[in-house]
Amino acid sequence: MGTNEIIAETSDLAIGYRNRDRVFRVLEGLSLKARHGELVALIGRNGTGKSTLLRTLTGLIPPLGGRIMLEGNPLNSISLSQLPKIVSFVSTEPVAIHNIKVRDVVSLGRFPYTNWIGTLSQTDEEAVQSAMEATGLTGLAGRSIDSISDGERQRTLIARSLAQDTGLLVMDEPTAFLDLPSRYGIVSLLRKLTREKDKCVIYSTHDLDTAINEADRIWLMTGDGVTEGAPEDLMLTGRLARAFESPLLSFSINDGTFSFVRSRQTGIALEGKGKAAKLTARALARCGYTTDPQALLTVKVSESAGETEWTVTDGVNVNRYGSLYDLVTGLPSGDH
Amino acid sequence: MIAGRTRIVIAIAGLSLLILLLFIADLLLGSTHMNFADVMGSLFGKGDPGDEIIVMQFRLPKAITAVLAGAAMSVSGLLMQTLFRNPLAGPDVLGVSSGAGLGVALTLLTLTPLITLPAGSLLAGWGLILAAWAGAGVVMLIIMAVSARMRDIMTVLIVGLLLASAISAVVSLLQYFSNEAMLRTYVIWTMGNLGSISYPQIRALSLATAVGLVIAFIMVKPLNAMLMGETFSRTVGVKMQRTRIILLASASILAGSVTAFCGPLAFIGVAVPHVARLIFGTTDHRTLMPGAALCGAVIMLLSDIISNAPGGGHIIPVNTVTSLVGIPVVLWIIIGKRGLGRKF
Amino acid sequence: MSRIIPLIISAALLISSCRHGVNPPVAEQSMDDSLNVAGRLKLEKVAGATRATVTNPWQNSTGKELVWYLVQRDSAVPGDVSEDQIIRVPVSRIVCMSVTHIAMLQALDAGNVIAGISGSSLVYDSVIREGISSGRIRDVGYEGNLNRELIISLNPDVLMAYGVADPSAGSTARLADAGIKVFYNADYLEEHPLARCEWLRLFGILTGKVQMADSIVASVSEAYRELTALVRGSAGRRPAVLLGSPWEDVWYISPGNSYIGRLIEDAGGKYIYGEMTGAHSVPLSVESVFRKAEEADIWINPGTADRLSDIVATDPRMASLHPFREGQVWNNRRRITSGDGNDYWESAVVRPDLLLMDLVSIIHPELLPGFVQYYYRRLE
């Protein structure tokens, strides 16, 4: 998996804000690592300090204590002209300009390398081109940034970071406000960058699904600090569940997902096989029913000639339904 | 839509030609219309002596000043709009023009003028200009000090606006205690004037404008980065505090100098950058800055020509003309399909 | 013809000596039954009192009339007149808003009734200035910030004011509400110099020095008319005259029918903007005035310049003007104080004859050889 060298490392890091003489500590004692070729997802509930951590790592906010090392050098020893060649940052700020082309936005990523007026050399142009190819933007190069979709805009900003040619790319909520396919698209793009270009990408997200499925390393932030490990490590130790569980939400290790906590449910016997039976169980669970072979109430799922039919009997009455919607509407509510 | 580079070349060529034409037109028109031959003759010393004085002492300085003032104010406005990420920002936002006005008010409006210079001295004709420059300079230093201490650029904007309001209040107070004659001289100053600037003064204005424009142009790269936001700029290596101060200094030098020599010129700084964006179709400061300077010169020359339009020696004050030209542009920004403040 | 000149000069000297001479008897009333004094002032005898009607006392007013009844202290009030329209004469205390009012009172040797003035730094008369510095005469502020309480505490019999725009919303209106008799004096709006002088008659009634006022007006008018006749009678061209000075890009041009325009014409000059008529001065571009000024032989009233170098400092282009090159630039600042006082704005309103003499000697020096100007001085 690439060079696998550590690119970013913190020891006993304290992050927060200083406002004149008032110090506001968000978190402390953070000792974290990230390697080349790794996709690191920073997850945690709102307000825990994810943005603060990312901004401290990139040098935008000074740490309140402890150390940060980038490419083996202490962050505070890296000059202001060197730092942009080591780490790039995509913030949550929206692009407030129209009339600027996608290619020009990506070209701005070459800022640390161009001359005093910003002219792009051959190397710069190549970097821009390859960044756009990697992010699938070559067809949009001449389009103005406000004429493309949100997902494409996000990819443009990622391409800009890519053009900056840094070993470490840090991104603050790159999938926020994107639709489902776009979210998956972005995360798979980030994955590709780490695999193909040996970059390290550290990104914060609220999108747990993609994070625990795609990230190599999770930084799980809670009010007490940050735990790191493979997603499965955190599931195994129960930390992931504990971080997010609530009276309404529970984590299932089997599925690797969170789901709603169902209150006391009525039992219903389910007869049937295959896809239809599984989905029927889901629909029933939503309405407060749990599968119980001993239950009196029975639902039979049968398929014939491509049509599915549901038959419900409580031993006395029999009802037939042609769709799951009709079925659950027909049954009394199972929650009590 | 014509391709980017072609469009830029055409626009620059077109604007340059327009400047030349308007410059000549400005020389031809005035209280009396002279014809092209007479004007050319006067420029090269072969004309009628009466005409020559008019062209060389009245119209030529006015036209040159219009070009300088238009270019300087437009670039100043462009810098402000990028620095504050606000399409309605202009040089007056810093309070620099108000500072110049305060210097002038103190000179003209107090019964025993606080700033007097011996009439026969070398500085006599410069008294007002120096007072205005001093006022603008003081405000500039205050704004730069605030910028150095404040993280948030919006705070600087608000301080600039409040400073302008405070100065306005002081000037009103001075006006309140003045008599008619003094009031009239002050009010005439506020109407803007391109014409009564001597050649030594034009040299000084050219120097100040050149300094301001050079500094501004050196900053095009960070300016382009700033379009993407302050966070992005910092992460690509722009030293924000230093950059801000340099930009404020350049904008103040440009706007302060023009105001010191010509009085306040309204709306040019706000409106022209938008006109330039429209013509050049880009937000790249490498193109936009010279583009705004060219557009500014064109519009200022046009305003000067319009101010003489009534004919027979009657004039519309320059400030009125620039407002009449600039306000529709500003309205177009607000009402137009782009929407106010969302993007620019 | 040449005998008239010494006559005029002696008349002038006589009149000026009268200013510091014998006090005429008080409370003399002798006047025609009705006298249309000037354009905006009408004085009529009505039942033993004098009715003063001021017409259009501020700019842009039309058909506006203010009526006052000036009643002797021990006389009865004419029936049907309300108290707030009555001024008891002779007055013992006046507050003046303009230095012209001061000049008129001084001409009648009645400066002792001045209790307060507006804009004390603008006063030229040394006696009045002494009164100000001694505290006998108080400064009541001016224009927007009139010190109303001070005026009320001075308890004047009349406040001699002037309105620029309609003053009904201004500070002087508030004073009228407080019981002060605010008399809006329209002398500065009179276009003819003699018309301005005739307002002296009003002050004559106010101070009880009617005869003195009448005689001054009469002799000034006569001197003025004789001089104009002299000028008209003399053959020869009329030198062209330029007025005013530029400021920034603008030159405010007085119309031909203005006070100074008429004076120039009566002095035998041809004001280069004589054809322009109007109620206000008009802003023109410096360039256009510069062009027109090429016709001018003489330049009068160039702002506040005391030396030719002052003009050059303000606008060096003016040095190429024909009158400048010929050294024919004259300004009305011979009699000024170290503050802002200029007698031209003060006593000249009472002595248009002196003013006219100054101008005639400038424009037609051959008519008054050896004459030393009173208000004017050639700029060096």
> What element of type H or E holds B164?
helix B153-176
Contact C313 B120 (CB under 8 A): yes
> What element of type H or E holds A302?
strand A298-304
Residues in C lying within 8 Å of B, measured between beta carbons: 119, 121-122, 142-145, 164, 246-250, 252, 282-292, 294, 306-307, 309-310, 313-317, 320, 340
**End-to-end Cα separation, chain B, in angstroms:** 19
Measured between CB atoms, which of B54, B177, B193 is closest to C249?
B193
Q: Which residue of B has its CA nearest to A79?
A: B237
In a domain, B340, yes or no: no
- Sequence-separated (6 or more) residues with CB below 8 Å from residue C292: B313, C272, C273
Are the C-beta atoms of residues C44 and C31 closer than 8 Å to each other?
A: no
CB-CB neighbors (< 8 A) of B236 in chain A:
84, 88, 108-109, 111-112, 164
Contact C285 B263 (CB under 8 A): no
Return d(Cα C375, Cα C264) in angstroms, integer: 15
Contact B58 C121 (CB under 8 A): no
Contact C287 B31 (CB under 8 A): yes
C214, two tokens = 């009448």
DSSP A172: S
- Name which of B89, B90, B75 is nearest B341 in CA terms: B89
Task: Please tell me the CATH code under which domain C31-189 is placed.
Answer: 3.40.50.1980
- CA A242 to mean position of chain CA atoms: 18
Do C31-189 and C221-378 show the same overall fold? yes
Residue B226 sits in a domain of what CATH number? 1.10.3470.10
Measured between CB atoms, which of A81, A84, A97 is closest to B235?
A84
Return d(Cα A244, Cα A258) in angstroms, integer: 9
pLDDT per position as a tens digit, B140-183? 888 888 888 887 888 888 888 899 899 999 999 888 877 777 78
A28, two tokens = 């402390």
Contact A118 B224 (CB under 8 A): yes
Contact C284 B185 (CB under 8 A): no
Contact B54 C287 (CB under 8 A): yes
Instruction: Report the pLDDT averaged over residues B93-114.
Output: 78
What are the φ and ψ backbone dihedral angles of C5, each rounded to 5 degrees? -60, -55
Q: Which residue of A has its CA nearest to B278?
A: A99
DSSP annotation string for B224-275: HHHTT-HHHHHHTT--HHHHHHHHHHHHHHHHHHHHHHH----SHHHHHHHH
Given phi > 0 = left and psi -120 to 50 = alpha, else beta, which region is A4? left
Given phi > 0 = left and psi -120 to 50 = alpha, else beta, which region is C243? beta
DSSP annotation string for C86-148: EEEES-S-EEESSHHHHHHHHHTT-GGGEEEES-GGG---HHHHHHHHHTSSEE---GGG--H
Instruction: Spell out, as residue ranges, where chain A has pLDDT lower than 70.
Output: 1-3, 334-336
Instruction: Please state, in angstroms and as integers, the Cα–Cα distance from residue C349 to each residue in A149, C47, C260, C343, following that order.
Output: 81, 31, 12, 10
| pLDDT score for B140 | 87
Are the C-beta atoms of residues A168 and A87 closer than 8 Å to each other?
A: yes
In a domain, B343, yes or no: no
CB-CB neighbors (< 8 A) of C314 in chain B:
125
- CA C314 to mean position of chain CA atoms: 28
Return d(Cα B148, Cα B329) in angstroms, integer: 33
In a domain, B34, yes or no: yes
- CA B203 to mean position of chain CA atoms: 16
Q: Which residue of C has its CA nearest to B122?
A: C313
Return d(Cα A206, Cα B329) in angstroms, integer: 43
Of the residues C288, C290, C314, the best mutation for testing chain B's interface (the one with the most B CB atoms within 10 Å of its CB) is C288
In a domain, B341, yes or no: no
pLDDT per position as a tens digit, B223-250? 999 999 999 999 999 999 899 999 999 9
Return d(Cα C219, Cα C203) in angstroms, integer: 17
Q: What is the mean pLDDT of each run of 10 residues along chain C (380 residues)?
A: 52 46 33 57 84 85 86 83 87 92 94 91 91 92 80 91 73 81 89 90 93 93 92 87 90 92 93 90 91 92 89 88 94 89 91 94 91 93
Are the C-beta atoms of residues C235 and C227 closer than 8 Å to each other?
A: no
Query: Which residue is it, tokens 């104010």?
Result: B73
- Name which of B272, B318, B326, B265 is nearest B295 in CA terms: B272
Count residue pairs from A and B with Cβ separation < 8 A.
Answer: 75
Sorted by where each begins, the domain ranges of chain C are 31-189, 221-378
Contact A104 B85 (CB under 8 A): no
Return d(Cα C187, Cα C40) in angstroms, integer: 8
| pLDDT score for B104 | 87
Residues in B lying within 8 Å of A, measured between beta carbons: 85, 218, 220-221, 224-225, 227-229, 231-232, 234-239, 277, 281-284, 286, 338, 342-344
Q: Which residue of B has its CA nearest to C118?
A: B179
Return d(Cα B70, Cα C70) in angstroms, integer: 62
Measured between CB atoms, which of B235, B282, B338 is closest to A88?
B235
Q: Which residue of A has its CA nearest to B282?
A: A99
Domains and CATH numbers, chain A: 6-257 (3.40.50.300), 266-330 (no CATH)
**ipTM computed for the complex:** 0.85
Question: Tell me, what amino acid is at B122?
Answer: L
DSSP E strand boundaries for C162-285: 182-184, 240-243, 246-247, 250-253, 270-271, 282-285
Give CA torsion, residues B296, B19, B13, A117, to 10 deg: -40
Find the domain containing B217 and state its range. 4-335
Are the C-beta atoms of residues A297 and A266 closer than 8 Å to each other?
A: yes
Question: Tell me, what amino acid is at C352?
Answer: P
Q: Which residue of C has its CA nearest to B126?
A: C313
Return d(Cα B215, Cα C139) in angstroms, integer: 53
Instruction: Report the pLDDT averaged over residues B51-56.
Output: 86
- Name which of A235, A237, A236, A240 is nearest A221 in CA terms: A240
Are the C-beta atoms of residues A183 and A207 closer than 8 Å to each other?
A: yes
Question: Tell me, what amino acid is at B283?
Answer: T
Contact C313 B196 (CB under 8 A): no
Measured between CB atoms, which of C250, C288, C294 is closest to B31?
C288
A72, two tokens = 């083996």
Question: Tell me, what amino acid is at C230?
Answer: L
Contacting chains of A (3 CB pairs or more, <8 Å) are B
Q: How near does any CA of chain C get to the CA of B93, in Å?
A: 25
| pLDDT score for A335 | 64
Contact B235 A97 (CB under 8 A): no
Cβ burial, residue C129 (10 Å; 0-12/13-18/19+): middle
Return d(Cα A221, Cα A243) in angstroms, integer: 8
CB atoms within 10 A of CB A161: 28
Helix axes B96-109, B153-176, angle to 10 degrees: 20
Measured between CB atoms, which of B224, B234, B282 is closest to A60?
B234
CB atoms within 10 A of CB B33: 10
Domain count, chain B: 1
- Name which of A198, A253, A261, A206 is nearest A231 in CA terms: A253
- Name which of B129, B159, B161, B153 is nearest B259 in CA terms: B129
Q: Which CATH number is C221-378's, of 3.40.50.300, 3.40.50.1980, 3.90.1010.10, 3.30.365.10?
A: 3.40.50.1980
In a domain, B342, yes or no: no
Given phi > 0 = left and psi -120 to 50 = alpha, else beta, which region is C378? beta
The CA-based angle A157-A149-B339, given to 5 degrees, is 95
Strand order in the sheet with C282-285: C246-247, C250-253, C282-285
The CA-based angle C357-C358-C364, given to 5 degrees, is 80
| pLDDT score for C85 | 87
SS3 A256: coil
Instruction: Please state, in angstroms and as integers, the Cα–Cα distance from residue B128 to each residue in B102, B134, B200, B260, B261, following that order.
Output: 11, 10, 15, 8, 9
Handedness of CA A199, A186, A59, A161 (dihedral sign): positive
Q: How near does any CA of chain B get to the CA of A161, in Å?
A: 10
| pLDDT score for C28 | 31
Question: pTM of the predicted model, to two decimals?
Answer: 0.84
DSSP B56: I
| pLDDT score for C247 | 86
